[in-house]
Chains A and B, each alone.
Chain A
Amino acid sequence: ELVMTQSPGTLSVSPGERVTLSCRASQSVSSDLAWYQQKPGQAPRLLIYGASTRASGIPARFSGSGSGTEFSLTISSLQSEDFAVYYCQQYNNWPEFGQGTKVEIK
């Protein structure tokens, strides 16, 4: 069974800070990884696919990196609208999500 693990569970940050979220796969998923942002009461929004390709309309402050089992999502300068829960999802096998990282205001 392929397991996706995100860390940390919660990140307390100030606006303007640089933030890096981690996602680890229990086995290699190549570059078949996506990142989503979800705000309370809203559907998730696709940010990154192919581990590093920004989805349409996603600001350049969001970037993804990694391959194999280790991935990261970086927000270069956190804006107020970026406080949300972030999920990684692998699609090398049937879709599987990580448990999420909540980015909250410090």
Chain B
Amino acid sequence: QVQLVESGGGVVQPGRSLRLSCAASGFTFSNYGMHWVRQAPGKGLEWVAVIWYDGRNKYYGDSVKGRFTISRDNSKNTLYLQMNSLRVEDTAVYYCARDPDAVSGTYFDYWGQGILVTVSS
């Protein structure tokens, strides 16, 4: 069965960095595009970033462009999100999610359980 397990969250001060990981299992990771989606406390869902199956193409939402970097290691079945210059408004539960397509941002057929990132001084 498909499993996505996020890790690396926690409390961080504004301006600092944090790296999230998402360990995938139960499917051939290298065949699928992968996303990060976030949800601020009590708010709706916001798409953050997508990476194609081979890692060669990456795209970002406007609110994180230039600060966050999505990457993947297909040999380790792991997705990453490097978050730099964090702001209070980046506080959210971050979900990794699988795209049923390999090379485009479509919808999300499987989700991890989410990991909380709190940006606070």
Give A residues with C-beta under 8 Å from B.
32, 34, 36, 38, 42-46, 49, 55, 87, 89, 91, 94-100
Please determine whether B107 and A49 come into contact, CB atoms closer than 8 angstroms.
Answer: yes
Contacts of A89 in B (CB 8 A): 45, 107-108
CB neighbours (8 Å) of B110 from chain A are 46
State whether the Cβ of B35 lies closer than 8 Å to any Cβ in chain A.
Answer: yes
Chain B residues within 8 Å of A96, by CB = 47
- Cross-chain contact B109 with A43 (CB below 8 angstroms): no
A36, A43, A49, A99, most chain B CB atoms within 10 A:
A43
User: Are B45 and A87 in contact, CB atoms less than 8 angstroms apart?
Assistant: yes
Q: Is the pair A44, B47 in contact by a Cβ cutoff of 8 Å?
A: no
Q: Mark B7-47, 1 if CB is under 8 A from A, else 0.
A: 00000000000000000000000000001010000001111
Given A43-B112, A43-B113, A44-B111: A95 touches B35 (CB 8 Å cut-off)? yes
A96 vs B48: C-alpha distance when bound (angstroms): 10
Contacts of B106 in A (CB 8 A): 32, 49, 91, 95
In the assembled complex, the Cα of A44 lies from the Cα of B97 at a distance in Å of 10
Contacts of B50 on A, CB cut-off 8 Å?
Answer: 94-95
Q: Does B66 contact A (CB under 8 A)?
A: no
Contacts of A32 in B (CB 8 A): 106
**Within the complex, what minimum Cβ distance (angstroms) separates B70 from chain A?**
13
A43 lies within 8 A of B47 (CB): no
For the complex, what is the distance from the CA of A45 to the CA of B47, rounded to whole Å?
15
Docked-complex contact B107 and A43, CB < 8 angstroms: no
Contact of B45 among A42, A49, A55, A97 (CB under 8 A): A97
The 3 closest A-B pairs by CB, nearest first: A34-B107, A43-B111, A95-B47
Q: With A43-B95, A43-B112, A43-B114 as given contacts, are A97 and B107 in contact (CB-CB < 8 Å)?
A: no
- A sample of 12 inter-chain contacts (CB < 8 A) reads A32-B106, A34-B107, A34-B108, A46-B107, A49-B106, A49-B107, A55-B109, A87-B44, A95-B35, A98-B44, A99-B44, A100-B45
